[in-house]
């Protein structure tokens, strides 16, 4: 049949059919389930070291929620989210902001998603925030670190939450650690990816250092490789030649591992003291090839820092995770699980306030705003940015190899309280740092 030779009658029929087909193509989900989209890196450089462990962490916790098997303090909360089973839609975060915004709309409009718990890259979160608010979609960012989300992009969020501290907390904790443990440091340089997370990480560490150790100068030759570039030959050469001994780096995922491999081969970690913001994700993967002696963080009390936390929830999480995946959970796994727990807490609390009936979206949001709930490793205080931004305690230490146990361990660990490293509620992080971190409770 030739569409161009059709009579008007046939064409009209076809048009009506088409219109009918597309208008009924609405999402079909069961009424007794909550559709939770979980975007995380499943392909590309972000996947193996970060995206996949994060997905694993989310899967472990979602399964336990659905079966009602979470230990204390969630042990009497029934199955699912306020009694409804979670249907998880796990998908790939790679491809950049435009692709992810398009996919966000797709998931909301085509698959009828009820809430999002995910996104790892700060670039994705920055792109998603406006569209999540526009589509009035409950969105919990468990990981991404740029402070811009609630400081520039949306200062009065209603639908978007973040359940961990942001880059300012990392910068302050690192600078406090350097001041306490490396009083003789004479200068610092850095290698950070040239996008929101890398730029903000360096800026906040630099600003915190200027307050805490004003006589120590920053290098003007800090390195800015592109995200997911994977090749750091030129940058490593520049770092080797720099006169500063301390190197700050917020590289993560595959980029971080490529940098460690390429840097180790050239003796970078023997020559320089490197401070990594997010390197815990790779310590188990790299084994004995990890850069021992480096200072590192996990963007909070997660991963290797939580190895010794003796609570029922943490012990259970580690055991189930290790049994299933044969490696210990890393920071990303903890953080993703912490994001899903926020949903668990909020739905259950909202149902309770709603007389036991399943809550609507506004009630869930009201329950999560300003709440304090138990994460896997530590309590999470949703007390910044109108109750949408979390603060947690923070930890920094030095990575060493434990010969007896045959595994990496953290030594010389320092713990920082949430109100020590995060700017106080209502205060812009950059201004807080420039103003001398007033009101910090350390």
Partner 1 sequence: MRHVDKTVTGLTIAFAVLFLADFFMAEWVRFIGLQSLARGAVALGLLVLWRTGLVSFGHALYFGIGAYAAAMLTLIGYHDAFFLVFAGTLASGVLAFLLGFLLRRYRAIFFALLNMAFSMILYGVIVKTEELGSTDGFSLHPPTFLGYAPQGEAVQTTLFIFTLVFTYIVTVGVHLYLKTTLGGMSMAVRENEIRVEYLGYSAEKVIHVKYVFSGLVAGFGGAIMALAIGQVDPDSMANWNVSGEFVFITILSGIGNVGATYIGALVFELIRTYAFEYAPQIWQFILGGSLLAIIMFLPDGIWSLVDRLRKSEG
In the complex, the residues that contact partner 1 under the rule CB under 8 A are 1-5, 11, 14-15, 18-20, 22-26, 42-43, 90-92, 95-99, 101-103, 105-106, 109-111, 122-123, 126-127, 129-131, 134, 153, 194-196, 199, 226-227
Q: Minimal distance in Å, beta carbon 212 to partner 1?
A: 26
Which residue, 195 or 358, is less far from partner 1 as judged by CB? 195
CB of residue 75 vs partner 1: minimum separation in angstroms?
A: 32
Distance in Å, CB of 132 to partner 1, minimum: 11
Q: Please list, residue by residue across 339-370, b when 16 or more beta carbons sit within 10 angstroms of its beta carbon and e when fewer do.
A: bbbbbbbbbbbbbeeeeeebbeeebbbbbbbe
- Choice between 43 and 231, CB closer to partner 1: 43
Cβ atoms within 10 Å, residue 52: 18
Tokens of 155: 């200062």
Min separation Cβ 36 and partner 1, Å:
15
In the complex with partner 1, the residue whose CB is nearer, 25 or 180, is 25
Give bridge partners of residue 408 from the DSSP assignment: 401
Query: Smallest distance from the beta carbon of 37 to partner 1, in angstroms?
Result: 11
Q: Which is nearer to partner 1, 69 or 324 (CB)?
A: 324
Question: To the nearest whole angstrom, how small is the minimum distance from the Cβ of residue 283 to partner 1?
Answer: 25
CA 250 → CA 65, 123, 220, distances in Å? 33, 14, 17
Region of 370 on the Ramachandran plot (φ > 0 left; ψ -120 to 50 alpha; else beta):
left
CA–CA separation, 125 vs 293, rounded Å?
33
Provide the 3-class DSSP secondary structure of residue 48: helix
* Cα 96 to Cα 113: distance, rounded to the nearest angstrom: 21
Between 91 and 401, whose beta carbon lies closer to partner 1?
91
Pairing of strands 138-141, 160-162: parallel
Q: How far is the CB of 351 from partner 1 (least distance, A)?
A: 28
Distant-in-sequence, close-in-space partners of 332: CB < 8 Å, separation ≥ 6: 50, 51, 53, 54, 57, 120, 143, 281, 303
Q: Which is closer to partner 1, CB of 3 or CB of 31?
A: 3
- H or E segment to which residue 390 belongs: strand 389-391
42 vs 440 by CB, closer to partner 1: 42
């Amino acid at each position: 049949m030739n569409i161009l030779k059709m009579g008007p009658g046939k064409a009209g029929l076809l048009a009506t059919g088409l219109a009918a087909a597309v208008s009924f193509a609405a999402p079909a989900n069961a009424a007794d389930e909550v559709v939770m989209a979980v975007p995380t890196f499943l392909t590309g450089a972000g996947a193996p070291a970060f995206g996949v462990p994060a997905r694993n962490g989310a899967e472990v916790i979602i399964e336990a929620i659905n079966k009602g098997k979470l230990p204390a303090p969630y042990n009497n909360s029934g199955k699912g989210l306020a009694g409804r089973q979670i249907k998880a839609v796990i998908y790939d975060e790679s491809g950049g902001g435009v692709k992810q915004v398009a996919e966000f709309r797709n998931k909301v409009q085509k698959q009828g998603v009820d809430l999002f718990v995910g996104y790892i890259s700060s670039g994705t979160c920055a792109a998603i925030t406006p569209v999540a608010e526009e589509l009035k979609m409950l969105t919990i960012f468990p990981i991404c670190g740029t402070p811009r989300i609630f400081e520039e992009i949306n200062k009065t969020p209603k639908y978007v939450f973040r359940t961990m501290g942001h880059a300012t907390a990392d910068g302050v904790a690192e600078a406090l650690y350097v001041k306490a443990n490396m009083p003789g440091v004479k200068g610092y340089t850095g290698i950070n990816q040239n996008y929101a997370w890398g730029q903000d990480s360096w800026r906040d560490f630099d600003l915190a250092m200027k307050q805490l150790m004003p006589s120590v100068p920053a290098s003007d030759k800090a390195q800015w490789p592109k995200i997911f570039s994977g090749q750091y030959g030129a940058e490593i050469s520049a770092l080797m030649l720099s006169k500063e001994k301390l190197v700050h780096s917020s590289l993560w995922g595959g980029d971080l591992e490529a940098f460690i491999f390429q840097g180790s081969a050239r003796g970078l970690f023997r020559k320089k003291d490197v401070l990594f913001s997010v390197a815990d994700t790779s310590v188990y993967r790299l084994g004995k090839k990890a850069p021992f002696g480096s200072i590192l963080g996990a963007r909070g009390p997660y991963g290797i820092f939580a190895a010794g936390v003796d609570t029922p929830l943490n012990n259970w999480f580690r055991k189930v995770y290790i049994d299933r995946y044969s490696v210990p959970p890393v920071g990303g796994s903890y953080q993703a699980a912490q994001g899903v727990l926020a949903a668990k807490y909020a739905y259950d609390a909202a149902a309770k306030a709603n007389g036991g009936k399943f809550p609507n979206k506004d009630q869930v949001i009201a329950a999560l705003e300003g709440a304090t709930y138990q994460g896997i490793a530590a309590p999470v205080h949703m007390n910044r940015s109108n109750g949408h931004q979390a603060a947690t305690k923070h930890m920094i230490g030095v990575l060493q190899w434990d010969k007896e146990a045959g595994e990496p361990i953290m030594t010389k660990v320092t713990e920082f309280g949430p109100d020590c490293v995060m700017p106080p509620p209502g205060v812009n992080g950059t201004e807080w740092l420039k103003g001398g971190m007033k009101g910090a409770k350390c």
